[in-house]
Structure 1
């Protein structure tokens, strides 16, 4: 299994594990957060919070639809310097509050790389949370395209921003 462990340069944020299985076209991402599961969950389902952390630092997000419930959907546009650079969408298949989200993830600019994603929110001791995401794509070529599209940068920078957002949410409690 191909595994990438990353650590923020400033060492302020924990590392993220990104694994590409050599036998199955999947990507598994694991990250722990120093925040309760309910806050990590909120940051994934509330659109005003999602906009503050998701994706690389150089990209903004315009949300068209954000309905994260069983049977819901989402659609958003990534922007850079006010210009549209990518369009993402998906159907929400299952939501088990504070525990799991199952959704598709599509990228209009790479239609062959639609994935089925499952996000697990694990409550850990001391008010911490481990997020595990498993993405399954149709074939290895589609997965290679996802990985080559800058996914690792977006995941790492996004989760670093999520750490910062969660710290602020905890302080506001």
Structure 2
């Protein structure tokens, strides 16, 4: 499935292979790799764009380095949702490998691999693969409206990058 966002230069590509435990995301940004990387590793920027428009985020713990940990809470009109994980590899401006766990389903741990590619002309391609513990966990995430949150979050990130964040 491919979702076009409301910018005229990029498209979110979401690949959800049937029967597979993974989701692949590809998204281009009109910003250099260092800016896109910083938006993923600087907690003050991360909380501004992560997730759908209806939520606010608060960092509990954030150590964006190889071997570090992270944790945050997202809040909306329905309540609070906690997330946590570990940074397994942080390669500046190139790659982030981390675990991702929703506190509501603590047995379902995902491995996320994010790669940034410099496209030249101040543009970056973000490629991310999430590997779930089961096909069922992956399908539950997709059914939860994940795509909507990704699209809105990356649209917010576009606006922040345009503002120089």
Query: For the Cα contact (< 8 Å) 1:66–1:75, is it kept in 2?
Result: yes
Q: TM-score, normalised by structure 1?
A: 0.90
Query: How is 1:52-131 mapped onto 2 (pairs within 5 angstroms)?
Result: 52-81=48-77, 84-131=79-126
Deviation at 1:113, TM superposition (A): 2.8
Secondary structure of the structure 2 residue equivalent to 1:145: helix
- Structure 1: distance between partners of 2:52 and 2:119: 27
Q: Decide which of 2, 25, 38 is 1:5's aligned counterpart.
A: 2
Query: 5+ unaligned residues in a row in structure 1: which ranges?
Result: none
More helix by percentage: 1
Deviation at 1:94, TM superposition (A): 0.6
Query: 5+ unaligned residues in a row in structure 2: which ranges?
Result: none
Query: How is 1:18-33 mapped onto 2 (pairs within 5 angstroms)?
Result: 18-33=14-29
- Stretch moving more, 32-41 or 111-120: 111-120
Aligned CA-pair RMSD: 1.5
Deviation at 1:51, TM superposition (A): 1.0
